[in-house]
Structure 1
Amino acid sequence: MKSKASTYKELNQKSDLELFQLIKQREKGALEAVFNRYYESLCRFGIAYENDLDVVQEKVSDVFIQLWNSHDRIHEIQKPKPYLYVVVKNKLMEPVSYQKLKQTLDKGVEDEYSTSPSIEQEIIDQEQREMYVRKIQEILDQIPKKSRQIFEMSRLDELKYKEISEILGVSIKTVESHMAIALRTIRNMVVKNKQF
C-alpha cells in the first residue's frame, strides 16, 4: 500500500494530460494536483478580466468543479493548460448578477490570531520583501494592461507564445509585439530607477 505522500509526489510528476485522464477515472488526487498546479496562475490571469479578486477566485474554483463534473468529456481535451485558461476567460466574461454576494457574506470575518514577528530580523526581512514587491509592482504597473497580461502569461505562467495566442484569440505576432512593449517598459523603468 502506497503512502499518501508518495501518491501525491507521483501525481505531481505526471503531465497535465495524464492527470486529466485520471480525473476522467474519478481520481480526486489528480484533480487536487491540477488545482495546486494552476489555481494561483489562473487567478492572476483572471484579474485581467475582473478586478474583484473574490469573484476571480470563485470563478476559477468553479472551473475545477466543472472539470470534475464533466469528467466524461475529458477525453476531448488535448491541451489541458490552454483549455483551463480559455474556460477561466469565458467564465469571467459571462454576465454575472451576483458578483458582490461573496463580498457581502465575507464582510466582518477577521483573523483573530494574526501573529507578529517576535525577532527583529524577521521584521527587517519582511520589510525588505515588501519593498521589493512594491518596486516590482511599480514597474509592472507601468506596462500597458494587455502587454502586462501577456508578459505574465509568458513569464509567470510559462505559456508559449502559441498557447497565449490561442487563449487570447490573437496572432502570435500580436503576442510578440506586446512582449516587446512589456520588456522595453521594464528595461526603461530599471534604468530610470538606477539613476536615483
Structure 2
Amino acid sequence: MKSKPTYQALNHKTDLELFQLIKERDKGALETVFNRYYESLCRFGTTYENDMDVIEEKVSDVFIHLWNAHERLDQIKKPKPYLFVVVKHKLMEPVSYQKLKHTLDRGLEDERSSSPCIEQEIIEQEQREMYVRRIQEVLDKIPKKSRQIFEMSRLDELKYKEISEILGVSIKTVENHMAIALKTIRNMVVKNKQF
C-alpha cells in the first residue's frame, strides 16, 4: 500500500505531478493546487467581474470541477494556464442567479479601534493602506489590458507564452502591453517620486 505524501512533500511537487495525484483522488494534492493558485485566480477574475463574492464562488467551482473531472486530468499538459482559462470561461458565463449582497459588521471594528493597546496597530495599518493606495494609483494609470497582462506576468508569474494562450493573443501583443505597463509605472514613479 502506497503512503500518501505529506503536505510539505506535496508543496514541492510540480503542477503536473499534483494533477496526477488529483487524478488518483488525493485530496491533499487538490488542496495544494488550491493554496497555490486561489489568490492569483481571484485577482485574475477581477478583470472579468467586479463582485468579489461571484469571483470567489466561480474560482471555487473550478476546483470542484477539477476534482469531479479527475479522469481527464492526464490530458492537461499545462495545468497553470488551464486553470486561468477555466476561470476566464466560468466568469464569462451568464450569471443565472442574483448576485450576493455584502453586509459589514462595523460593531467589531469600532470596538477594536477604541482599545488603547491597539493604537500602534492602527497607525501601522494606516501606513500599509497609504502604501497600497500609492501602488493602486500607479496601477490605475496603466491601461486595463496592459495592467491585466502586467499582473499575470509579475504577480501570477506566468510566462508570456502562457499569457498569450490564456488571453488568445500573440506573444508580441503580450510584449507590447508589458512595455506599455512598465513605461507607465516608470513615468509615474519618476514624476511623483512615490517610492
**Which digits, 9 at most, give the CA deviation of each residue in 1:122-177, with x for residues without a partner?**
22221111110000001001111000000000000000000000000000000000
Q: Is the 8 A contact 1:55 1:99 kept in 2?
A: no
Flag structure 2 segments of 5+ consecutive residues without an equivalent: none
Whole-Å separation in 2 of the counterparts to 1:132 and 1:109 = 24
Corresponding residue number in structure 1 for 2:187: 188
Correspondence for 1:56: 55
User: Aligned Cα RMSD in Å?
Assistant: 1.9
Partner of 2:141: 142
- Which shows bigger deviation, 108-117 or 17-26? 108-117
How many angstroms apart in 1 are the aligned matches of 2:103 and 2:124?
A: 30
Structure 1 match to 2:7 = 8
Name the SS of the counterpart of 2:6 in structure 1.
Answer: helix
1:133-172 counterparts in 2 under 5 A? 133-172=132-171
CA distance, structure 1, for counterparts of residue 106 and residue 69 of structure 2:
36
Amino acid at match of 2:51: D
Cα drift, residue 108 of structure 1: 4.2
TM-score (normalised: structure 2): 0.90
Of the structure 1 ranges 50-59 and 36-45, higher mean CA displacement relative to structure 2 is found in 50-59
Q: What is the distance in 2 between the residues matched to 1:111 and 1:9? A: 38
Give the whole-Å Cα distance in 2 for the aligned partners of 1:95 and 1:59: 12
Q: Secondary structure of the equivalent of 1:123?
A: helix
**CA–CA distance in structure 2, aligned partners of residues 138 and 7 of structure 1:** 42
Does the Cα contact within 8 Å between 1:12 and 1:33 map onto a contact in 2? Answer: yes
Report the Cα distance in structure 1 between the residues aligned to 2:104 and 2:131, rounded to whole angstroms.
29
Structure 1 residues 112 and 25, CA gap change in structure 2 (3 angstroms): farther
Residue of structure 2 equivalent to 1:125: 124
Q: What is the aligned-residue identity percentage? A: 78
Would the alpha carbon gap of residues 111 and 127 (structure 1) be closer, same or farther in structure 2, given more than 3 Å must change? closer
CA distance in 2, matches of 1:27, 1:112: 42
Give the letter aligned to residue 12 of structure 1: N
Distance 1:121 1:173 in 2: 48
Matched AA of 2:193: K
Unaligned runs of 5+ in 1: none
**Structure 2 partner of 1:110:** 105
Distance in 2 (CA, whole Å) between partners of 1:183 and 1:108 is 37
Q: Which residue of 2 aligns with 1:71?
A: 70
| Amino acid of the structure 2 residue aligned with 1:175 | V
Deviations 1:26-51 (A, max 9, x none): 00000000000000000000110111
C-alpha distance 135-92 of structure 1, shift in aligned 2 (>3 A):
same
- Do 1:56 and 1:92's aligned partners in 2 also have CA atoms closer than 8 Å? yes
* Matched AA of 1:110: D
